[in-house]
Amino acid sequence: MITRQMVQLSFMLILMSSYLVGNSQAQLRIGFYAKTCPDAENIVRNVVGEAAASDPNTSPRLLRLHFHDCFVEGCEGSILIQNVPNAEKGAFGHQGVGGFDVIDKAKAQAEAVCPGVVSCADVVALAARDAIVLANGPSYQVETGRRDGLVSNEALAEKMPDVDDSIQVLKAKFRDKGLTEKDLVLLSAAHTIGTTACFFMTNRLYNFPPGGVSDPSINPQFLPELTRTCPKNGNVNVRLDIDQGNGQKFDNHILENIRNGFAVLRSDASLYEDATTRSVVDSYFGFLAPILGPSFEDDFAAAVVKMGRIGVKTGSQGTIRRVCSAFN
């Protein structure tokens, strides 16, 4: 005879089984689209390659787009939305972020082959990896299975890391995302490719607190070059390489610049003012570093993979957008 207790036990077992299955399916994993859309990664890779061939700024734009997406609501594509009032894309902290057209094109091609399968969030993560490779950076396997978020509001981007943040503020912002001081150094080193505008240099060159002069951490040999490129009351839209002397190739040259006072951005320079982050920077240099030291390329790839897990939506969470710039 079936008792009430037996029915209750059976129900509990079904619930536990459903929970475990849900959890096992709600994880990022390498090769998530192997069966549902086996050409997904090749589609993204080809689109990124075509874009980079016609515009050398494609790689830094796509890498920065991935960072900015993950640092707000998590890696869920909220930065891509344009069809709602006050969308996140318009936030002050996202000024200069680009690469949206590349993501849209890759998503459209994936939709044509596998409709409703590949998320925009995953397209962003895959495109960043391919962009790094094209800039001579390390290749790594991208965990996929992200779903797209349902919220996009510029107010949510207020806590984005900023070029004028102190090292203490930067460490706190990264810590809030589950990232370490080492991750802070490595992800900042993404500035080895790309440019910035004089707009972001004004305070550092002409209004640095407390005296309203230039940042004393700038190497005296480097300061005249910066002020020539970005003169006081000059055109704030003029752009300069963030990694002076090596702005198109992905490597650890920017960390060498930071050590020597040749950092362009204030946030990068601050990495050498804190004992913990300074030791991370120094670990990639020295006489025996090439043999016994850590691998900058491997560590950077690990940091990007770790960043790519921030606030992800998986399983039944979120949605798969048909168009990356609009909610379904």
User: What is the Cα 173 distance to its own chain's centre?
Assistant: 14
Gap between the Cα atoms of 298 and 295, Å rounded: 5
Task: Establish whether 268 is an annotated binding residue.
Answer: no
Contacts of residues 225-232 at CB distance under 8 Å and 24 or more positions apart, as own/partner, are 226/201, 226/264, 229/198, 230/198, 230/201, 230/202, 230/205, 232/205, 232/206
CB 93 within 8 A of CB 162: yes
Residue 78 in marked binding region: yes
Has 68 been annotated as catalytic? yes
304 is in an annotated binding site: no
Q: Which residues contact 82 (CB under 8 A, 6 or more apart)?
A: 89, 325, 326
Cis peptide before 210 (omega within 30 of 0): yes
Confirm whether residue 10 is marked as ligand binding.
no
Q: Is 72 annotated as a binding residue?
A: yes
22 is in an annotated binding site: no
Give the DSSP H or E segment for 269.
helix 266-269
Report the distance separating Cα 249 and Cα 257, nearest Å: 14
251 marked as part of a ligand binding site: yes
User: DSSP per residue over 7-58, as a string?
Assistant: HHHHHHHHHHHHHHHHHHHSS-EETTTTTT-TTHHHHHHHHHHHHHHH-TTH
Q: Report d(CA 146, CA 123) in Å as an integer.
A: 9
Does 76 belong to an annotated binding site? no
Q: Which of 66, 68, 94, 253 is catalytic?
A: 68
Residue pointed to by tokens 């440019």: 195
The two tokens of residue 297 are 């390329």
Gap between the Cα atoms of 311 and 148, Å rounded: 11
Query: Which residue is associated with the tokens 């536990």?
Result: 16
**Angle of the 167-176 helix axis to the 181-188 helix axis, nearest 10:** 110
- Where is the binding site for Ca(2+), in residues? 69, 72, 74, 78, 88, 192, 243, 251
Which residues are part of the catalytic machinery?
Answer: 68
- Where is the binding site for heme b, in residues? 191
- Where is the binding site for substrate, in residues? 161
- Where is the binding site, in residues? 69, 72, 74, 78, 88, 161, 191-192, 243, 251
